[in-house]
Chain A
C-alpha cells in the first residue's frame, strides 16, 4: 500500500515541479519586462504640454500632458488587477473563458496537456506581475548617487548598469524573491481547480477513492512532507546566495 501511495504522490510531485519550473522560467524574464514597462517614462504629449505651458501658462490640460504616460499606466493597471484578484480566479478564467468566447472553441489542447499549458500561462502571468514589483523595488532602491558616481567617472549607461547597479539590485531582490518563490511552490496546488494532477490532487485521490483504496487520509499528510523537504532545499539555496552576497552592504 505504501509503495502505491508513494508512487502516486511522486508522480504528482513531478507535475508540481514541472509547473513550478515552467513558471519560474517564464515569469522571471517576463517580470523584468513588466517592471521596465511600469517604469516607462514615455509621455507622448509632454512636448505639447511644455509648449502650451510656455505659451499660455499651466493648466489642468498641461498637467495632464505631463502626467499621461500610457505604457506605465497600462502596465500598472494590469499589475494591479492581477495582484488584486485570486490566482484561482485567474486560472479558472484563463482555462474556461476562451472556450466560451472563441468561435473555434477552447485554444487549449484537450486533456492533461491542455490543463498544464493553461495553468502555466496563468501562473507565469500572475507571478511575473509579482516579480515585476520586486524588480522595480530593487532597481529603484539603488541610490541615485551610485549612478551619478558612475556618470561622473565617465562610464556609459551600460557600464553603470552592469558594473555598478546590477549586483546591488540582485542583493536587494534575493530576500523578497526567495519568499515569493517559496510561496509559488505551495501555490502550484491551486492548479488542482482545473484538475491539474499535482501532488495534492494525487493525495486527495486516496481519500475519495482510486488505486483500489478510499477513505485514506494519511497520504494527504505525506504531501506535506514533500513540500517541506523541497522548500527546505530552496531555503538552503537562497541562504547560500544571500551569504555569497553578504560581503558588501
Chain B
C-alpha cells in the first residue's frame, strides 16, 4: 500500500486551472523530486497536500485512508483538517521560522501544544516536556546545529535557518515531508549544507517530496522524478530515465534550458 496516493487532483484560482488531473503515488521511504518551469503548479500541489489550498476535485489518500475527497465535504471540516495535516510536513522556500523563538523553541513549540491535548498531560507534564526537549535537541544535533539551539532566527545564516525549519517539520514525525525549493532563497554557497542534510534524510529512508530546481541534486536523491508543465505531470519515472532519456518534447526542452544555464 502506498503512503500517498493522489488521484485526479484539480485546483483552480478563479478561472485559471493551475492543477489539472494530477495523479501519482509515493511509497514508504521513497523520495520524489518534482521539477518544472516557473508557474507549472509545483508549489500549488504541495500546498494542496498540506491543506493550505483547497483542491477543487480529486482525492488524496494517506496509508489507504482517503483524507481529502473533492466530492465529500465531510472530509474538509476545519478541525478534521488540522489533524490530517499532521501526515505531512512542509519546509518552505522562505523558512518561515517564528522569529520570537529560539531555534530550539521553534522545533518544540508545535509538539508541546499538541502534547497538551494528550489525556495524560496533567499527570506526566514534566516527563512529556523533557522528552520533547530531548528529541528536539537530538534533531538539531542531526542538522548540525547543536551549538545553535539557543540562537534566534535572525542570528542564524539562511542555511542554518532552513535546517532549523527542517528539524521543526521533522519534530512532528510526518509520514511525508514536503520541501518547496528549500534552497532557492539561499546564497549559492549555503545550498550545499541544506542539500546534504536532505540527502542524509533520504539515506535514512525518510519519505519525501522535493520541489527543486537543483537538477543534479534531484538526480542523486530521488527515486522518482515528476516533470510538471502547465498543471500536468508530463513525465515521470526514475531519474536516469527522465534526465537521461526524456520521452516528451517539453521535458527535453526544459532540461536543455536548465543544463544551458
Residues of A bordering B, CB below 8 Å: 143, 145-146, 148-156, 159, 163-164, 167-168, 171, 247-249
B92 at the interface (CB under 8 A from A): yes
Q: Is B109 an interface residue (CB 8 A)?
A: yes
Chain A residue at smallest Cβ distance from B111: A153
Give the secondary structure class of A's interface. Answer: helix
CB-contact partner of A153 in B83, B152, B153, B172, under 8 A: B172
Which 10 pairs of residues, A with B, have the shortest CB-CB distance? A153-B110, A149-B96, A145-B96, A249-B154, A248-B99, A248-B100, A152-B90, A154-B86, A167-B100, A152-B50
Closest beta carbon of chain A to B106's beta carbon, Å: 9
Contact indicator A148/B100 (Cβ below 8 Å)? no
CA separation between A159 and B168, bound complex, in Å? 17
Question: Can you list 20 residue pairs at the A/B interface with Cβ under 8 Å?
Answer: A143-B96, A145-B92, A146-B98, A151-B50, A152-B50, A152-B85, A152-B169, A154-B85, A154-B86, A155-B113, A159-B113, A163-B109, A164-B98, A167-B100, A168-B99, A247-B100, A248-B153, A248-B154, A249-B152, A249-B153
Chain A: minimal CB distance from B187 (Å): 19
The answer for the CA separation of A59 and B236 in the assembled complex, in Å, is 42
Contact A168 B100 (CB under 8 A): yes
**Contact status B99-A152, CB under 8 Å:** no
- In Å, the complex CA distance between A167 and B89 comes to 25
- If A153-B109, A155-B110, A163-B109 touch, whether A148 touches B52 (CB-CB below 8 Å) is yes
Cα A151 to Cα B50 in complex, Å, equals: 9
Q: Which of B89, B94, B100 is packed against the most chain A CB atoms within 10 Å?
A: B100
Which residues on B sit within 8 Å (CB–CB) of A249? 99, 152-154
Residue-by-residue, is B43-54 near A (CB-CB < 8 Å gives 1, otherwise 0)? 000000011100
A163 to B89, CA, bound (A): 19
Partner of A145, one of B88, B94, B100: B94
Cβ contact of B152, chosen from A143, A171, A248, cutoff 8 A: A248
Bitwise interface map of B from 95 to 129 toward A, beta carbon under 8 Å scored 1, else 0: 01111110000000110011000000000000000
Q: Which residues of B contact A152 (CB under 8 A)?
A: 50, 52, 85, 88-90, 169
CB-nearest residue of chain A to B90: A152
Q: A148-B52, A248-B100 are in contact. Are A154 and B114 (CB under 8 A)?
A: yes
With A154-B172, A155-B82, A156-B82 already in contact, 10 other A-B pairs whose C-beta atoms are closer than 8 Å: A148-B52, A148-B96, A149-B92, A149-B97, A152-B89, A153-B172, A159-B113, A168-B100, A248-B101, A249-B154
